[in-house]
Amino acid sequence: MPETANPTTDFDKKAAWRALWALVIGFFMILLDTTIVSTAMPTIMASLDADISGILWVNSAYLLTFAVPLLVTGRLGDRFGPRNIYLIGMAIFSLASLWCGLSDSLGSLIAARAVQGLGASMISPQAMTMITRLFPYQHRGAAMGLWGAVAGIASLIGPIAGGLLVDSVGWEWIFFINLPIAVLSLVMVFKFVPRLEPQAHSFDWIGVALSAVAMFCLVFGIQEGDSTGWEPFIGPVSSWHLIIAGVLLLAVFVWWQGKTKSEPLVPLRLFLVRNFSLSNVAIAFMGLTIATISLPMVFFLQNVRGLTPTESALMISPMAVVGIFIAPRLGKMVNKLSPRILAVPGFLLFGGATVVYAYMMHADIALWTLLIPSAVQGVGSAMIWPSLSLAATRDLTPRDAGAGSGIYNTTRQIGSVLGSALIAVMMDSRVQAQIEKASSKDPATLMEATSVGLGQALLLPGFAAVTAVIVVAFLSPGKKS
Closest by Cα among 161, 148, 120 to 26: 120
- Local confidence band at 292 (pLDDT 50, 70, 90 cut-offs): confident
Regarding whether 212 and 128 lie in a shared domain, the answer is no
Regarding whether 242 and 174 lie in a shared domain, the answer is no
Regarding whether 196 and 210 lie in a shared domain, the answer is no
Least confident of 4-18, 52-66, 77-91: 4-18
Regarding whether 334 and 426 lie in a shared domain, the answer is yes
Which of 215, 243, 262 delimits the end of a domain? 262
Regarding whether 238 and 157 lie in a shared domain, the answer is no
| 3 inside domain | no
Its pTM stands at 0.75
pLDDT at 462 over 80: yes
Could you write out the DSSP letters of every residue in 88-154?
HHHHHHHHHHHHHHH--SHHHHHHHHHHHHHHHHHHHHHHHHHHHHHS-HHHHHHHHHHHHHHHHHH
Residue 391 and residue 468 in contact, taking contact as beta carbons nearer than 8 Å: no
Task: List pLDDT tens digits, range 402-452.
Answer: 677 778 877 887 787 778 777 877 888 888 889 888 877 788 888 999 999
| 360 inside domain | yes
- Local confidence band at 9 (pLDDT 50, 70, 90 cut-offs): very low
Q: Given this model, what pLDDT does residue 393 score?
A: 76
Angstrom distances, CA of residue 283 to CA of 290, 410, 475: 10, 10, 13
Averaged confidence pLDDT in the chain:
82
- What is the average pLDDT across 98-103? 93
Q: Given this model, what pLDDT does residue 152 score?
A: 62
Helix, strand or coil for residue 350? helix
pLDDT at 168 over 70: yes
Which of 213, 237, 262 delimits the end of a domain? 262
- Local confidence band at 277 (pLDDT 50, 70, 90 cut-offs): very high
Regarding whether 282 and 216 lie in a shared domain, the answer is no
Q: Given this model, what pLDDT does residue 239 score?
A: 77
Q: Phi and psi (nearest 5°) for 338?
A: -65, 135
- Selected residue with higher pLDDT from 112 and 139: 112
| 4 inside domain | no
Q: Given this model, what pLDDT does residue 362 score?
A: 93
| 466 inside domain | yes
**Exposure of 142 in the CB half-sphere (CA atoms within 13 A):** 11
pLDDT at 53 over 70: no
Percent pLDDT > 70 in the chain is 87
Task: List pLDDT tens digits, range 197-256.
Answer: 766 666 778 888 888 888 778 777 776 665 555 565 555 667 788 888 989 998 999 899
Residue 434 and residue 460 in contact, taking contact as beta carbons nearer than 8 Å: no
| 5 inside domain | no
Which of 262, 284, 311 delimits the end of a domain? 262
- What is the average pLDDT across 300-311? 87
Regarding whether 315 and 247 lie in a shared domain, the answer is no
pLDDT at 135 over 80: no
Regarding whether 221 and 296 lie in a shared domain, the answer is no
| 480 inside domain | no
For the ranges 4-8, 385-389, 409-413, the one whose mean pLDDT is highest: 385-389
CA distance 65 to 119: 9
Regarding whether 31 and 21 lie in a shared domain, the answer is yes
CA distance 366 to 104: 38
Regarding whether 164 and 67 lie in a shared domain, the answer is yes
Regarding whether 131 and 55 lie in a shared domain, the answer is yes
How many other C-beta atoms are found inside a 10 Å radius of the C-beta of residue 114?
19
| Domain that includes residue 240, residue range | 204-262
Specify the CATH number for the domain of residue 273: 1.20.1250.20
- Local confidence band at 461 (pLDDT 50, 70, 90 cut-offs): very high
| 481 inside domain | no
Q: Given this model, what pLDDT does residue 148 score?
A: 63
| 23 inside domain | yes
Regarding whether 208 and 194 lie in a shared domain, the answer is no
Our count of domains for the chain comes to 2
pLDDT at 7 over 50: no
